[in-house]
Structure 1
Amino acid sequence: MAQMRAFFAGGRAPGVDARARAGIDRAAAVIADIARGDVPVYGVNTGFGKLASMRIAPDDTARLQRNLILSHCAGVGDPLPRAETALMMLLKVNSLARGASGVRWELIALLEAMLAHDIWPNVPEQGSVGASGDLAPLAHMAAVMIGEGQAWGAKVDGHPVSGSEALGNAGLDPIVLGPKEGLALINGTQFSTAVALGALFDLWHLVESQIAVAALSTDAIMGSTAPLRPEIHALRGHRGQIEVAAAMRGLLDGSEIRESHREGDTRVQDPYCIRCQAQVAGAALDQLRMAAHTLAIEANAVTDNPLVFEDASVISGGNFHAEPVAMAADQIAIAIAELGAIAQRRIALMVDPTLSFDLPPFLTPEPGLNSGLMIAEVTSAALMSENKHLANPCSTDSTPTSANQEDHVSMAAHGALRLRRMVDNLAHIVGIELLCAAQGVEFRAPLQTSAPLRELVKRLRTTVPPLGEDRMVSADIGRAAALCATGLDLCTLEMGESASL
């Protein structure tokens, strides 16, 4: 997982171990023998999907694979962003390198060269139902490899160019697909997996930021840290809950604001959005780790069809069905929605003078004349509600396709794509919470929050000044959201033990 995160963040693509070549060559030889023979094997010398019963002559196998790619380039919508496209390509390399797909080494080498030369295909985001693989998106990737389609690259400025031109600019030649190679390229879950992983990687920074912002909110409303005591969380035993509580205790340690109300506070218990922060964020954290584990396994999986085994048998199966990815995406979506829901309640708490423990209404020094952060809170509610709608599961949806041959599908691509919007919504919710929490803590002066949380406020104030007289706050929200999205480096959480590339 660490390798994939580093690559997604702009690092170099890890190369295929040379020791894998023997297995790759062995499987490719099996497929070449089948293509020359009379025994029908799906996708090698037959048609595809509902057309699997139609035999293809040996002389037409190359044409069959080319036609497969061109016919499946049926995607629509916005281009997949560069980082996700590159990750999709890397995952396809990783899958093919397992030596069970029957492709030649040259095919894998071309994908690696495209990554090394920063060539990324123009892949429309819409068109996959997440079963029989991510057919349309992966076909647009494969099209560039045969000199068709469109691509960007390091030597391409502005608009994408033809696949052949993008390859030529890097001194690369298009490949002529051999038996089964087109099918191996488009049969698989690499599009859905890459998109889900990209959202998870971006989300992880945001979760770490949110824990720090939640600690600042706790101080802003003079909340109790007693619910963070370790013995409470040890009795329950959930890893995420224990870690969130520990992180928040550390962030709040040394706060003058906290020490000022340990004695004589008439409130027996804080609202749940303060008292249950570790329980909710911890549960989300545990869900995200489970999803990360599933996606890491999928990133290392062989998900095309049919598969070539060491005994030279070629067996049709269903590893292309993206149900694990769809369910992981649903887990991530639910976690995002819940993190946003509890953050929004903390925002509402801070702007409400009946609940905020003596903070001014809507966190403005002159309420009435000024509305302060009134509508920023409304915006957070709108974003929270949108995320709750988007969190409805996609994996429970299905529709028959391909003349009922593919009669149950996962909708993994749809489930993964909505995560990017949800992460962006959550970033803005957390950004609004940061604006409120910083404003609230500053109203507690001369009492000071803890040293790390003072540093957090200081970083915010380099781009967003305190809110006095009313002003347009949309830009303030955007700056705060961007700060939170990149990670505040005040809380570091491990994504968990799982497989790596």
Structure 2
Amino acid sequence: MVTLNGQTLTFPEVRRVLFDREQVTASEESVKKVQASRKAVERIVDEGKTVYGITTGFGKFSDVFIGKEDVEALQLNLIRSHACGIGEPFPEVVSRAMVLLRANALLKGYSGVRPVVIERLLDLVNKGIHPVIPQQGSLGASGDLAPLSHLALVLIGEGEVFYKGERMPGIDALTKEGIFPITLTAKEGLALINGTQAMTAMGVVAYLEAEKLAYQSELIAALTIEGLRGITCAFDEDIHLARGYKEQVQVAERMRHHLVDSRLTTKQGEIRVQDAYSIRCIPQVHGATWQTLNYVKEKLEIEMNAATDNPLIFNDGEKVLSGGNFHGQPIAFAMDFLSIAMAELANISERRIERLVNPQLNDLPPFLSPEPGLQSGAMIMQYAAASLVSENKTLAHPASVDSIPSSANQEDHVSMGTIGSRHAYLVITNARRVLSIEAICAMQATEIRGIDQMAQTTRQFLTKGRELVPSITKDRVFSKDIEVINAWLKDSEFHFDKQTTNKIHS
């Protein structure tokens, strides 16, 4: 059971809730804070004070006073009118993350909602009811208004959900689980949609996949080094300590560990003096990606536990302040940075693929073909990888450098962070397929060199890989092979660090 308090949610906990379906609950202390802030909202309504979003309209309508008799209608109208999401829905796991993160943010006790609102969010998580949330339509400031409105619709018995493998009206899933929809009262609609949970949820899922892929990329690169009789001297610790980046040092250490007992690798001067950059500079390039991943993780951990709606209620209602915590700029930058870093993992992987298939760059059969000329072998797999790498270069264009004013220029600068997070996820998806192609080519090359001479770790990878994809003994539809390896990398639990290097399983 994961206990939420709005302050301490961690990546391991998020991973357990998202992928292991661990149940969640709210801490007693956080619920007390929620109750206190709710009393403040009720006082504001009762006294007829003018406070943004509680007794006023929204955006450009912030100067329009709303009477006590209309506060419920105001919140309902807000959710319905703002549910303007378009396009394909977010993956179900992202929707689950969105609900989890929104509940955690409200539990900080600054938002003025009733505890029942949070209870319903936790019900959705615990019962596996995931709102259908279109991916497009958010500017990433003033909150992820459109996506989160689709989330909020489900709480009031409207909208659609994914439930037990089916897409259905939200009210049907609630009814099946005996959950009653709620009527939103003062500030509650605004509190649900005025936040960064769409971009953050997408970013969290993207990060988790990126972290796994970054570890996997090192092992796949180790296979390539064996296939090319690469020089391991470039991974000597002294080289990397001399520069001083800890992530670079760590990548080099893992590469040495992967290849420690290989008889296919060489020392400088045995076959050649030094390798090309895509081999020799793996610690430097992959290490720089790890620097970025660490930065992204830090920002996401902060945002997962952040109060991002407006206004915020402090000191039991003594201070009710309008601000801009809903602005997604910190996550927008992080997502753009993530796109660039993961695009580079794919970029250098594609260069290694070229070295595996190009007969002018190695002494292997041309394009790893069993009958060069009659059969093309891996020739077009390199084309496919190059295409994905090129597509990533366009996706990695920063979303955060753009801004379009909205709400009659009241909201005149926005982050586009949700676009950035979606693009980051696409980049990671493409990068995984590039690395899948490298894995297929590297397995073929090491088999040609001699399986019995491989390192224990890389041989374990090859053994598992060959259960999924056979050797290239004749041309076939390689698209299927790429997708099989891609699914393995995406869905498997194998995860490589110093402690788990020798654990490869599905």
Task: Give 1:445 deviation, angstroms.
Answer: 2.5
Give the corresponding residue for 1:498: none
Task: Give 1:5 deviation, angstroms.
Answer: 1.7
Per-residue CA deviations over 1:348-376 (Å, capped at 9, x if unaligned) read: 011111112x1111011321111110000
Q: How do 1:63-462 residues align onto structure 2 when only pairs under 5 Å count?
A: 63-154=73-164, 158-161=166-169, 163-258=170-265, 261-262=266-267, 265-310=270-315, 312=317, 313-356=319-362, 358-445=363-450, 448-462=453-467
Partners of 1:140 and 1:489 lie apart in 2 by 35
Out of 461, 481, 489, the residue aligned to residue 486 of structure 2 is: 481
Partners of 1:387 and 1:488 lie apart in 2 by 25
Give the corresponding residue for 2:503: none
Partners of 1:10 and 1:39 lie apart in 2 by 46
Per-residue CA deviations over 1:413-453 (Å, capped at 9, x if unaligned) read: 11111222212111110011011111111111276111111
After TM superposition, the score normalised by the length of structure 2 is 0.94
CA contact (8 A) 1:303 1:320 kept: yes
Letter in 1 for 2:349: A
Pair 151,262 (structure 1): closer, same or farther in 2 beyond 3 Å: closer
- What SS does the corresponding residue of 1:231 show, helix, strand or coil? helix
After TM superposition, the score normalised by the length of structure 1 is 0.95
Pair 287,132 (structure 1): closer, same or farther in 2 beyond 3 Å: same
Q: Identify the range of structure 1 (183-192 vs 265-274) with the bigger mean alpha-carbon deviation.
A: 265-274
Pair 174,336 (structure 1): closer, same or farther in 2 beyond 3 Å: same
Partners of 2:274 and 2:252 lie apart in 1 by 17
Q: Identify the range of structure 1 (143-152 vs 64-73) with the bigger mean alpha-carbon deviation.
A: 143-152
Letter in 1 for 2:419: H
- What SS does the corresponding residue of 1:152 show, helix, strand or coil? strand
Q: Identify the range of structure 1 (379-388 vs 460-469) with the bigger mean alpha-carbon deviation.
A: 460-469
Partners of 2:330 and 2:269 lie apart in 1 by 52
- What SS does the corresponding residue of 1:355 show, helix, strand or coil? coil
- What SS does the corresponding residue of 1:462 show, helix, strand or coil? helix
Task: Give 1:479 deviation, angstroms.
Answer: 1.4
CA contact (8 A) 2:154 2:161 kept: yes
- What SS does the corresponding residue of 2:112 show, helix, strand or coil? coil
Letter in 2 for 1:150: E
Task: Give 1:490 deviation, angstroms.
Answer: 6.2
CA contact (8 A) 2:343 2:428 kept: no
CA contact (8 A) 1:208 1:493 kept: no
- What SS does the corresponding residue of 1:160 show, helix, strand or coil? strand
CA contact (8 A) 1:100 1:309 kept: yes
Partners of 1:444 and 1:181 lie apart in 2 by 65
Per-residue CA deviations over 1:61-96 (Å, capped at 9, x if unaligned) read: 111111111111111111222111011001000000
Higher RCO, Cα 8 Å, sep 6+: 1
Per-residue CA deviations over 1:262-318 (Å, capped at 9, x if unaligned) read: 375242211000000010001001101110110110000000000000152100000
Pair 401,247 (structure 1): closer, same or farther in 2 beyond 3 Å: same
Task: Give 1:11 deviation, angstroms.
Answer: 2.7
Partners of 2:173 and 2:192 lie apart in 1 by 19
Residue ranges of structure 2 left out of the alignment (5+ in a row)? 1-10, 500-506
Task: Give 1:484 deviation, angstroms.
Answer: 2.5
Letter in 2 for 1:282: G
Root mean square deviation, CA, Å:
1.5
Pair 292,490 (structure 1): closer, same or farther in 2 beyond 3 Å: closer
Alignment length, in residue pairs?
488
Out of 41, 54, 59, the residue aligned to residue 64 of structure 2 is: 54
Pair 206,446 (structure 1): closer, same or farther in 2 beyond 3 Å: closer
Pair 493,286 (structure 1): closer, same or farther in 2 beyond 3 Å: farther
Per-residue CA deviations over 1:371-409 (Å, capped at 9, x if unaligned) read: 110000010000011111111111111100111111100
Partners of 1:488 and 1:207 lie apart in 2 by 13
Q: Identify the range of structure 1 (184-193 vs 361-370) with the bigger mean alpha-carbon deviation.
A: 361-370
Instruction: Flag as ranges the 4+ runs of structure 1 deviating above 4 A.
Output: none
Give the corresponding residue for 2:14: 4
CA contact (8 A) 2:40 2:316 kept: no
Per-residue CA deviations over 1:91-147 (Å, capped at 9, x if unaligned) read: 000000000001111111111112111111111111101000000110111111111
CA contact (8 A) 1:430 1:484 kept: no
Partners of 1:380 and 1:269 lie apart in 2 by 25
Identity of aligned residues (%): 41
Letter in 2 for 1:423: I
Partners of 1:263 and 1:309 lie apart in 2 by 65
Task: Give 1:13 deviation, angstroms.
Answer: 3.8
- What SS does the corresponding residue of 2:88 show, helix, strand or coil? strand
CA contact (8 A) 2:160 2:167 kept: no
Letter in 2 for 1:223: G
- What SS does the corresponding residue of 2:63 show, helix, strand or coil? coil
- What SS does the corresponding residue of 1:71 show, helix, strand or coil? helix
